[in-house]
Structure 1
Amino acid sequence: MASLGANADQPAQPGFVYLDQVLQHAHYEARYYSGDNFVGSRIDGYESPRVILTKEAATALAEVERDVALSGLQLKLFDGYRPQRAVAHFQRWAADLADTRTKDRYYPHLDKAALFRDGYIAKKSAHCRGSTVDLTLVDASTGQELDMGSHFDFFGPISHHGTNLISVQQTRNRETLRSAMQRHGFEPYANEWWHYTLKQEPYPNTAFDFPVK
Protein backbone atom coordinates (compact mmCIF):
# COMPACT_ATOMS: atom_id res chain seq x y z
CA MET A 1 0.00 0.00 0.00
CA ALA A 2 1.23 3.47 -0.82
CA SER A 3 2.07 5.77 2.06
CA LEU A 4 -0.90 7.99 2.86
CA GLY A 5 1.29 11.02 3.31
CA ALA A 6 4.09 10.43 0.88
CA ASN A 7 2.69 11.82 -2.34
CA ALA A 8 2.43 15.54 -2.98
CA ASP A 9 -0.66 14.93 -5.15
CA GLN A 10 -3.31 15.26 -2.46
CA PRO A 11 -6.92 16.51 -2.29
CA ALA A 12 -7.48 20.12 -1.27
CA GLN A 13 -8.82 19.15 2.16
CA PRO A 14 -6.28 17.88 4.74
CA GLY A 15 -7.12 14.44 6.04
CA PHE A 16 -8.32 13.14 2.67
CA VAL A 17 -6.55 10.99 0.06
CA TYR A 18 -7.04 9.78 -3.49
CA LEU A 19 -7.91 6.09 -3.46
CA ASP A 20 -5.75 5.40 -6.50
CA GLN A 21 -2.76 6.22 -4.29
CA VAL A 22 -3.85 3.76 -1.60
CA LEU A 23 -5.46 0.77 -3.30
CA GLN A 24 -3.28 -1.49 -5.42
CA HIS A 25 -5.66 -3.22 -7.83
CA ALA A 26 -8.98 -1.38 -7.70
CA HIS A 27 -11.17 -0.46 -10.65
CA TYR A 28 -12.89 2.92 -10.99
CA GLU A 29 -16.07 4.08 -12.71
CA ALA A 30 -16.76 7.62 -11.52
CA ARG A 31 -20.41 7.85 -12.53
CA TYR A 32 -21.04 11.36 -11.23
CA TYR A 33 -18.14 12.70 -13.27
CA SER A 34 -19.01 10.83 -16.46
CA GLY A 35 -22.67 11.74 -16.67
CA ASP A 36 -23.66 8.06 -16.79
CA ASN A 37 -25.91 8.40 -13.75
CA PHE A 38 -29.52 8.86 -12.65
CA VAL A 39 -29.41 12.63 -13.32
CA GLY A 40 -28.10 12.09 -16.84
CA SER A 41 -25.30 14.67 -16.70
CA ARG A 42 -22.08 15.44 -14.84
CA ILE A 43 -22.81 16.38 -11.24
CA ASP A 44 -21.72 19.70 -9.72
CA GLY A 45 -18.43 19.42 -7.83
CA TYR A 46 -16.99 16.54 -9.85
CA GLU A 47 -14.10 18.01 -11.83
CA SER A 48 -12.11 14.76 -12.05
CA PRO A 49 -12.91 11.03 -12.30
CA ARG A 50 -10.84 10.26 -9.20
CA VAL A 51 -12.31 8.92 -5.95
CA ILE A 52 -11.47 10.57 -2.61
CA LEU A 53 -11.94 9.32 0.97
CA THR A 54 -10.72 10.25 4.43
CA LYS A 55 -7.40 8.68 5.34
CA GLU A 56 -9.12 6.50 7.92
CA ALA A 57 -11.69 5.15 5.46
CA ALA A 58 -9.03 4.61 2.80
CA THR A 59 -6.86 2.65 5.23
CA ALA A 60 -9.80 0.42 6.18
CA LEU A 61 -10.71 -0.07 2.52
CA ALA A 62 -7.15 -1.19 1.77
CA GLU A 63 -7.72 -3.97 4.31
CA VAL A 64 -10.91 -4.92 2.48
CA GLU A 65 -8.96 -5.04 -0.77
CA ARG A 66 -6.43 -7.44 0.72
CA ASP A 67 -9.23 -9.53 2.21
CA VAL A 68 -11.21 -10.05 -1.01
CA ALA A 69 -8.02 -10.68 -3.01
CA LEU A 70 -7.71 -13.98 -1.14
CA SER A 71 -10.88 -15.06 -3.00
CA GLY A 72 -9.69 -13.81 -6.39
CA LEU A 73 -11.72 -10.61 -6.20
CA GLN A 74 -11.02 -6.90 -6.60
CA LEU A 75 -12.89 -3.72 -5.68
CA LYS A 76 -14.65 -1.42 -8.13
CA LEU A 77 -15.40 2.10 -6.91
CA PHE A 78 -18.30 4.25 -8.11
CA ASP A 79 -18.12 7.10 -5.59
CA GLY A 80 -16.55 8.17 -2.32
CA TYR A 81 -16.42 11.67 -0.89
CA ARG A 82 -19.22 13.79 -2.40
CA PRO A 83 -19.24 17.61 -2.27
CA GLN A 84 -22.29 19.21 -0.67
CA ARG A 85 -22.90 21.07 -3.94
CA ALA A 86 -23.47 17.67 -5.59
CA VAL A 87 -26.22 16.89 -3.10
CA ALA A 88 -27.79 20.25 -3.95
CA HIS A 89 -27.65 19.24 -7.63
CA PHE A 90 -29.49 16.01 -6.78
CA GLN A 91 -32.13 18.03 -4.92
CA ARG A 92 -32.73 20.32 -7.90
CA TRP A 93 -33.04 17.32 -10.19
CA ALA A 94 -35.47 15.54 -7.84
CA ALA A 95 -37.64 18.66 -7.64
CA ASP A 96 -37.97 18.79 -11.44
CA LEU A 97 -40.69 16.18 -11.79
CA ALA A 98 -40.92 16.76 -15.54
CA ASP A 99 -37.39 15.43 -16.12
CA THR A 100 -37.81 11.66 -16.28
CA ARG A 101 -35.17 10.88 -18.92
CA THR A 102 -33.48 8.27 -16.74
CA LYS A 103 -36.59 6.68 -15.21
CA ASP A 104 -36.51 3.48 -17.28
CA ARG A 105 -32.96 2.67 -16.22
CA TYR A 106 -32.82 3.89 -12.63
CA TYR A 107 -36.32 4.01 -11.08
CA PRO A 108 -38.79 2.27 -13.42
CA HIS A 109 -41.16 1.18 -10.63
CA LEU A 110 -41.12 4.40 -8.57
CA ASP A 111 -42.52 7.87 -8.99
CA LYS A 112 -39.75 10.44 -9.03
CA ALA A 113 -41.46 12.28 -6.18
CA ALA A 114 -40.92 9.19 -3.98
CA LEU A 115 -37.12 9.13 -4.24
CA PHE A 116 -36.59 11.42 -1.24
CA ARG A 117 -39.44 9.88 0.75
CA ASP A 118 -38.13 6.35 0.31
CA GLY A 119 -34.54 7.22 1.19
CA TYR A 120 -32.86 6.79 -2.18
CA ILE A 121 -31.78 10.43 -2.36
CA ALA A 122 -30.85 12.27 0.83
CA LYS A 123 -30.99 15.99 1.54
CA LYS A 124 -27.97 15.36 3.77
CA SER A 125 -25.60 12.70 2.48
CA ALA A 126 -23.12 10.64 4.50
CA HIS A 127 -20.86 10.86 1.45
CA CYS A 128 -20.20 14.54 2.22
CA ARG A 129 -18.47 13.51 5.46
CA GLY A 130 -15.85 11.66 3.43
CA SER A 131 -15.98 8.15 4.88
CA THR A 132 -18.75 6.62 2.77
CA VAL A 133 -18.08 4.63 -0.38
CA ASP A 134 -20.15 3.12 -3.19
CA LEU A 135 -18.57 -0.02 -4.61
CA THR A 136 -18.91 -3.55 -5.94
CA LEU A 137 -16.73 -6.61 -6.51
CA VAL A 138 -14.93 -7.69 -9.67
CA ASP A 139 -13.60 -11.11 -10.67
CA ALA A 140 -9.85 -10.51 -10.86
CA SER A 141 -9.40 -13.11 -13.61
CA THR A 142 -11.99 -11.65 -15.99
CA GLY A 143 -12.40 -8.03 -14.90
CA GLN A 144 -16.17 -8.56 -14.80
CA GLU A 145 -18.39 -7.30 -12.00
CA LEU A 146 -20.07 -9.92 -9.85
CA ASP A 147 -23.81 -10.13 -10.48
CA MET A 148 -25.47 -8.34 -7.58
CA GLY A 149 -29.02 -8.57 -8.93
CA SER A 150 -29.35 -4.85 -9.65
CA HIS A 151 -26.96 -2.23 -10.93
CA PHE A 152 -25.42 0.68 -9.02
CA ASP A 153 -27.96 3.41 -8.20
CA PHE A 154 -30.98 1.32 -9.20
CA PHE A 155 -33.73 2.67 -6.96
CA GLY A 156 -36.13 0.01 -5.74
CA PRO A 157 -36.60 -2.91 -3.34
CA ILE A 158 -34.40 -5.18 -5.47
CA SER A 159 -31.39 -3.09 -4.34
CA HIS A 160 -32.18 -3.53 -0.63
CA HIS A 161 -30.16 -5.80 1.63
CA GLY A 162 -32.21 -8.89 2.45
CA THR A 163 -34.44 -8.70 -0.62
CA ASN A 164 -36.05 -11.91 -1.87
CA LEU A 165 -36.15 -10.57 -5.44
CA ILE A 166 -32.72 -11.90 -6.42
CA SER A 167 -31.17 -15.33 -6.92
CA VAL A 168 -29.24 -17.39 -4.40
CA GLN A 169 -25.96 -16.62 -6.21
CA GLN A 170 -26.70 -12.89 -6.35
CA THR A 171 -27.44 -12.97 -2.62
CA ARG A 172 -24.13 -14.74 -1.99
CA ASN A 173 -22.28 -12.13 -4.03
CA ARG A 174 -23.80 -9.31 -1.99
CA GLU A 175 -22.98 -11.14 1.22
CA THR A 176 -19.36 -11.57 0.14
CA LEU A 177 -19.07 -7.78 -0.22
CA ARG A 178 -21.02 -7.05 2.94
CA SER A 179 -19.04 -9.48 5.08
CA ALA A 180 -15.69 -8.12 3.91
CA MET A 181 -16.76 -4.52 4.50
CA GLN A 182 -18.14 -5.25 7.96
CA ARG A 183 -15.03 -7.15 9.00
CA HIS A 184 -13.03 -3.98 8.42
CA GLY A 185 -15.29 -1.48 10.13
CA PHE A 186 -17.86 -0.42 7.54
CA GLU A 187 -21.64 -0.38 8.03
CA PRO A 188 -24.10 -1.14 5.21
CA TYR A 189 -27.05 1.05 4.22
CA ALA A 190 -30.27 -1.00 4.14
CA ASN A 191 -31.62 0.40 0.86
CA GLU A 192 -28.43 0.16 -1.25
CA TRP A 193 -26.23 -2.94 -1.45
CA TRP A 194 -23.28 -0.84 -2.76
CA HIS A 195 -23.23 1.84 0.00
CA TYR A 196 -21.01 1.55 3.10
CA THR A 197 -19.90 4.01 5.80
CA LEU A 198 -16.93 3.67 8.15
CA LYS A 199 -18.30 3.24 11.70
CA GLN A 200 -15.52 5.26 13.30
CA GLU A 201 -15.61 8.05 10.75
CA PRO A 202 -13.36 10.99 11.67
CA TYR A 203 -15.79 13.79 10.71
CA PRO A 204 -19.25 12.55 11.78
CA ASN A 205 -20.75 16.05 11.95
CA THR A 206 -19.06 17.83 9.03
CA ALA A 207 -20.38 18.10 5.47
CA PHE A 208 -17.50 19.15 3.21
CA ASP A 209 -17.86 20.97 -0.10
CA PHE A 210 -14.40 21.04 -1.71
CA PRO A 211 -14.54 19.83 -5.34
CA VAL A 212 -13.29 16.46 -6.53
CA LYS A 213 -10.40 17.35 -8.79
Structure 2
Amino acid sequence: MRVVAAVLALQVVQAVPGVVPGTAGAHGAERLPGFVALRDVDPSIVEDIRYAGPRNFTGAVVDGYEEPVCLLARPAAEALRRAQRELLRSGRALKVYDCYRPQRAVDRFVRWAGDPADQSTKAEYYPEVDKARLIPEGYIAAKSGHSRGSTVDVTVVALPGRRELDMGTAFDFFGSLSHTDDPRVAGEARENRRLLKRVLGAQGFVNLPEEWWHFTLRPEAFPDTFFDVPVSVAAGRP
Protein backbone atom coordinates (compact mmCIF):
# COMPACT_ATOMS: atom_id res chain seq x y z
CA MET A 1 0.00 0.00 0.00
CA ARG A 2 2.76 2.45 -0.86
CA VAL A 3 2.25 5.88 -2.48
CA VAL A 4 2.61 5.83 -6.26
CA ALA A 5 2.11 8.46 -8.96
CA ALA A 6 -1.23 8.47 -10.81
CA VAL A 7 -0.94 9.18 -14.53
CA LEU A 8 -3.78 8.90 -17.02
CA ALA A 9 -2.80 6.42 -19.72
CA LEU A 10 -6.09 5.63 -21.48
CA GLN A 11 -8.22 8.05 -23.48
CA VAL A 12 -11.38 7.68 -21.42
CA VAL A 13 -13.46 9.98 -19.23
CA GLN A 14 -12.08 10.28 -15.70
CA ALA A 15 -14.42 9.74 -12.76
CA VAL A 16 -11.77 10.95 -10.30
CA PRO A 17 -8.54 12.81 -11.17
CA GLY A 18 -5.93 10.21 -12.08
CA VAL A 19 -8.40 7.33 -11.85
CA VAL A 20 -9.85 5.51 -14.86
CA PRO A 21 -13.34 3.98 -14.89
CA GLY A 22 -14.13 0.83 -16.83
CA THR A 23 -16.25 0.39 -19.92
CA ALA A 24 -19.83 -0.83 -20.24
CA GLY A 25 -20.15 -4.55 -20.84
CA ALA A 26 -23.17 -6.80 -21.22
CA HIS A 27 -26.36 -5.34 -19.78
CA GLY A 28 -24.54 -2.10 -19.01
CA ALA A 29 -22.39 -3.57 -16.21
CA GLU A 30 -18.95 -2.01 -15.83
CA ARG A 31 -16.05 -4.19 -16.87
CA LEU A 32 -12.27 -3.97 -16.83
CA PRO A 33 -10.83 -4.29 -20.34
CA GLY A 34 -7.88 -6.67 -20.39
CA PHE A 35 -8.82 -8.21 -17.03
CA VAL A 36 -9.97 -11.73 -16.19
CA ALA A 37 -11.38 -13.55 -13.19
CA LEU A 38 -8.59 -15.71 -11.77
CA ARG A 39 -11.00 -18.61 -11.31
CA ASP A 40 -11.51 -18.67 -15.09
CA VAL A 41 -7.75 -19.03 -15.61
CA ASP A 42 -6.94 -21.43 -12.75
CA PRO A 43 -9.75 -22.54 -10.43
CA SER A 44 -7.28 -24.55 -8.31
CA ILE A 45 -5.88 -21.35 -6.75
CA VAL A 46 -7.64 -20.75 -3.43
CA GLU A 47 -9.46 -17.42 -3.11
CA ASP A 48 -10.08 -15.74 0.26
CA ILE A 49 -10.88 -12.16 -0.72
CA ARG A 50 -10.69 -10.52 2.69
CA TYR A 51 -12.05 -7.07 1.79
CA ALA A 52 -15.29 -8.61 0.48
CA GLY A 53 -16.10 -9.63 4.06
CA PRO A 54 -15.56 -8.31 7.60
CA ARG A 55 -12.33 -10.23 8.28
CA ASN A 56 -9.94 -7.38 7.54
CA PHE A 57 -8.37 -4.44 9.33
CA THR A 58 -11.42 -2.20 8.80
CA GLY A 59 -13.71 -4.80 10.39
CA ALA A 60 -16.29 -4.47 7.61
CA VAL A 61 -16.91 -5.13 3.92
CA VAL A 62 -14.85 -2.55 2.03
CA ASP A 63 -16.36 -0.17 -0.52
CA GLY A 64 -16.12 -1.52 -4.07
CA TYR A 65 -16.08 -5.24 -3.22
CA GLU A 66 -19.42 -6.42 -4.54
CA GLU A 67 -18.38 -10.07 -4.86
CA PRO A 68 -15.50 -12.15 -3.39
CA VAL A 69 -13.66 -12.66 -6.68
CA CYS A 70 -10.04 -12.18 -7.71
CA LEU A 71 -9.71 -10.00 -10.81
CA LEU A 72 -6.35 -9.41 -12.48
CA ALA A 73 -4.87 -8.20 -15.73
CA ARG A 74 -4.62 -11.33 -17.85
CA PRO A 75 -0.78 -11.58 -17.85
CA ALA A 76 -0.76 -11.55 -14.03
CA ALA A 77 -3.42 -14.24 -13.83
CA GLU A 78 -1.53 -16.44 -16.29
CA ALA A 79 1.72 -15.96 -14.35
CA LEU A 80 -0.04 -17.09 -11.16
CA ARG A 81 -1.25 -20.18 -13.01
CA ARG A 82 2.34 -21.08 -13.91
CA ALA A 83 3.46 -20.60 -10.29
CA GLN A 84 0.57 -22.74 -9.12
CA ARG A 85 1.66 -25.60 -11.36
CA GLU A 86 5.03 -25.71 -9.61
CA LEU A 87 3.51 -25.67 -6.12
CA LEU A 88 0.97 -28.37 -6.92
CA ARG A 89 3.80 -30.79 -7.66
CA SER A 90 4.85 -30.57 -4.02
CA GLY A 91 1.35 -30.79 -2.53
CA ARG A 92 0.94 -27.06 -1.99
CA ALA A 93 -1.08 -24.29 -3.58
CA LEU A 94 -1.44 -20.54 -3.80
CA LYS A 95 -4.08 -18.67 -1.84
CA VAL A 96 -4.96 -15.08 -2.74
CA TYR A 97 -6.25 -12.54 -0.24
CA ASP A 98 -6.61 -9.60 -2.61
CA CYS A 99 -6.07 -8.91 -6.29
CA TYR A 100 -7.42 -5.93 -8.24
CA ARG A 101 -8.58 -3.26 -5.77
CA PRO A 102 -10.75 -0.34 -6.94
CA GLN A 103 -9.75 3.21 -6.02
CA ARG A 104 -12.88 3.62 -3.92
CA ALA A 105 -11.61 0.84 -1.64
CA VAL A 106 -8.29 2.64 -1.25
CA ASP A 107 -10.21 5.82 -0.37
CA ARG A 108 -12.08 3.84 2.28
CA PHE A 109 -8.79 2.72 3.82
CA VAL A 110 -7.67 6.34 4.07
CA ARG A 111 -10.92 7.37 5.77
CA TRP A 112 -10.61 4.46 8.20
CA ALA A 113 -7.04 5.41 9.07
CA GLY A 114 -8.19 8.96 9.77
CA ASP A 115 -10.84 7.86 12.29
CA PRO A 116 -9.16 7.62 15.71
CA ALA A 117 -12.38 6.48 17.38
CA ASP A 118 -12.40 3.16 15.53
CA GLN A 119 -9.84 0.92 17.24
CA SER A 120 -11.80 -2.33 17.04
CA THR A 121 -9.17 -4.26 15.08
CA LYS A 122 -6.03 -2.87 16.73
CA ALA A 123 -5.15 -5.99 18.74
CA GLU A 124 -5.11 -8.17 15.63
CA TYR A 125 -3.72 -5.91 12.91
CA TYR A 126 -1.66 -3.08 14.44
CA PRO A 127 -0.94 -3.82 18.13
CA GLU A 128 2.39 -1.97 18.18
CA VAL A 129 1.62 0.93 15.83
CA ASP A 130 -0.46 3.97 16.75
CA LYS A 131 -3.31 4.29 14.29
CA ALA A 132 -2.41 7.93 13.70
CA ARG A 133 0.95 6.72 12.30
CA LEU A 134 -0.46 4.31 9.70
CA ILE A 135 -0.57 6.94 6.94
CA PRO A 136 2.66 8.82 7.83
CA GLU A 137 4.59 5.54 8.02
CA GLY A 138 3.23 4.30 4.68
CA TYR A 139 1.01 1.43 5.79
CA ILE A 140 -2.00 3.18 4.24
CA ALA A 141 -1.66 5.32 1.11
CA ALA A 142 -3.86 7.36 -1.22
CA LYS A 143 -3.01 5.18 -4.23
CA SER A 144 -2.31 1.45 -4.50
CA GLY A 145 -0.61 -0.66 -7.14
CA HIS A 146 -3.51 -3.10 -6.70
CA SER A 147 -5.70 -0.67 -8.62
CA ARG A 148 -3.55 -1.26 -11.73
CA GLY A 149 -4.42 -4.96 -11.82
CA SER A 150 -1.01 -6.67 -11.72
CA THR A 151 -0.55 -6.82 -7.94
CA VAL A 152 -1.69 -9.64 -5.70
CA ASP A 153 -1.65 -10.42 -1.98
CA VAL A 154 -0.93 -14.12 -1.67
CA THR A 155 0.28 -16.95 0.54
CA VAL A 156 0.82 -20.72 0.32
CA VAL A 157 -1.39 -23.49 1.68
CA ALA A 158 -0.78 -27.20 2.22
CA LEU A 159 -3.03 -29.65 0.41
CA PRO A 160 -5.45 -31.29 0.70
CA GLY A 161 -6.67 -29.40 3.76
CA ARG A 162 -5.70 -25.91 2.50
CA ARG A 163 -3.94 -25.10 5.76
CA GLU A 164 -2.01 -21.84 5.50
CA LEU A 165 1.73 -22.23 5.93
CA ASP A 166 3.34 -20.31 8.79
CA MET A 167 4.60 -16.97 7.46
CA GLY A 168 5.50 -15.37 10.78
CA THR A 169 2.61 -12.90 10.78
CA ALA A 170 -0.95 -12.79 9.57
CA PHE A 171 -1.88 -11.10 6.30
CA ASP A 172 -2.15 -7.31 6.61
CA PHE A 173 -0.28 -7.17 9.91
CA PHE A 174 0.96 -3.59 10.23
CA GLY A 175 4.45 -3.82 11.69
CA SER A 176 8.06 -4.53 10.82
CA LEU A 177 7.59 -8.28 11.42
CA SER A 178 5.77 -8.28 8.08
CA HIS A 179 8.93 -7.17 6.29
CA THR A 180 9.85 -10.11 4.08
CA ASP A 181 13.43 -10.39 5.37
CA ASP A 182 12.90 -9.28 8.97
CA PRO A 183 15.67 -11.12 10.88
CA ARG A 184 13.33 -11.98 13.76
CA VAL A 185 11.36 -14.28 11.47
CA ALA A 186 13.29 -17.56 11.46
CA GLY A 187 12.91 -21.28 10.95
CA GLU A 188 9.91 -22.61 9.08
CA ALA A 189 8.28 -19.20 8.65
CA ARG A 190 11.41 -17.78 7.04
CA GLU A 191 11.68 -20.74 4.67
CA ASN A 192 8.02 -20.39 3.71
CA ARG A 193 8.52 -16.74 2.86
CA ARG A 194 11.51 -17.66 0.73
CA LEU A 195 9.47 -20.36 -1.02
CA LEU A 196 6.72 -17.90 -1.90
CA LYS A 197 9.22 -15.31 -3.14
CA ARG A 198 11.13 -17.89 -5.18
CA VAL A 199 8.11 -19.46 -6.86
CA LEU A 200 6.50 -16.14 -7.77
CA GLY A 201 9.81 -14.53 -8.67
CA ALA A 202 10.43 -17.24 -11.24
CA GLN A 203 7.31 -16.03 -13.05
CA GLY A 204 8.21 -12.33 -12.98
CA PHE A 205 6.57 -11.21 -9.74
CA VAL A 206 8.48 -8.70 -7.59
CA ASN A 207 7.94 -8.67 -3.83
CA LEU A 208 7.33 -5.49 -1.84
CA PRO A 209 9.99 -5.78 0.92
CA GLU A 210 7.69 -4.35 3.59
CA GLU A 211 4.95 -6.95 3.03
CA TRP A 212 5.78 -10.65 2.59
CA TRP A 213 2.41 -11.25 0.88
CA HIS A 214 2.55 -8.43 -1.71
CA PHE A 215 3.76 -9.16 -5.26
CA THR A 216 3.57 -7.25 -8.56
CA LEU A 217 4.10 -8.76 -11.99
CA ARG A 218 6.66 -6.83 -14.01
CA PRO A 219 6.24 -5.41 -16.54
CA GLU A 220 2.71 -4.38 -15.62
CA ALA A 221 -0.06 -4.49 -18.19
CA PHE A 222 -1.35 -1.08 -17.03
CA PRO A 223 1.63 0.58 -15.32
CA ASP A 224 0.19 4.11 -15.22
CA THR A 225 -3.51 3.41 -14.83
CA PHE A 226 -5.62 3.26 -11.66
CA PHE A 227 -9.08 1.73 -12.16
CA ASP A 228 -12.20 2.28 -10.05
CA VAL A 229 -14.59 -0.41 -11.26
CA PRO A 230 -16.26 -2.38 -8.42
CA VAL A 231 -15.07 -5.95 -7.94
CA SER A 232 -17.59 -8.37 -9.43
CA VAL A 233 -17.60 -11.42 -11.68
CA ALA A 234 -19.05 -9.30 -14.50
CA ALA A 235 -16.12 -6.87 -14.33
CA GLY A 236 -13.72 -9.62 -15.38
CA ARG A 237 -15.79 -10.95 -18.27
CA PRO A 238 -15.83 -9.80 -21.93
TM-score band, normalised by the shorter chain? over 0.9
Aligned mates of 1:122, 1:152 — CA distance in 2 = 17
Q: How does 1:77-156 map to 2 (within 5 A)?
A: 77-156=96-175
Displacement over 6 Å in runs of 4+: none
2:194 maps to which residue? 175
Aligned mates of 2:90, 2:182 — CA distance in 1 = 25
Q: Specify the code of the residue in structure 1 equivalent to 2:39.
A: D
Aligned mates of 1:11, 1:188 — CA distance in 2 = 30
- In the TM superposition, residue 127 of structure 1 has moved relative to its aligned partner by 0.2
Aligned mates of 2:208, 2:135 — CA distance in 1 = 15
Deviations 1:39-62 (A, max 9, x none): 011100000001100001101111
- TM-score (normalised: structure 1): 0.93
Aligned mates of 2:68, 2:35 — CA distance in 1 = 16
Corresponding pairs, count? 205
Report the secondary structure of 1:206's partner residue: coil
- In the TM superposition, residue 165 of structure 1 has moved relative to its aligned partner by 2.0
- TM-score (normalised: structure 2): 0.83
Q: Does 1:27 align with 2:46?
A: yes
Q: 1:105, 1:154 within 8 Å by CA — same for their partners in 2?
A: yes
1:16 maps to which residue? 35
2:177 maps to which residue? 158
Report the secondary structure of 1:193's partner residue: coil
Give me the identity figure in percent: 47
Aligned mates of 1:146, 1:182 — CA distance in 2 = 18
Aligned mates of 1:149, 1:161 — CA distance in 2 = 10
2:204 maps to which residue? 185
1:63 maps to which residue? 82
Aligned mates of 1:80, 1:116 — CA distance in 2 = 21
Q: Does 1:74 align with 2:89?
A: no
Quickly say closer, same or farther: Cα 1:204–1:101, change in 2 above 3 A: same
Q: Specify the code of the residue in structure 2 equivalent to 1:151.
A: A
2:18 maps to which residue? none
Q: 209, 218, 236: which is aligned to 1:199? A: 218
Report the secondary structure of 2:173's partner residue: coil
Quickly say closer, same or farther: Cα 1:130–1:70, change in 2 above 3 A: same
Cα RMSD for the two superposed structures: 1.4
Q: 1:119, 1:191 within 8 Å by CA — same for their partners in 2?
A: no
Moved more, 120-129 or 102-111: 120-129
Structure with the greater relative contact order (CA < 8 A, sep ≥ 6): 1 or 2? 2
Gaps (5+ residues) in structure 2? 1-25, 233-238
Aligned mates of 2:30, 2:68 — CA distance in 1 = 13
Report the secondary structure of 1:136's partner residue: strand
Q: 47, 68, 82: which is aligned to 1:49? A: 68
- In the TM superposition, residue 11 of structure 1 has moved relative to its aligned partner by 7.5
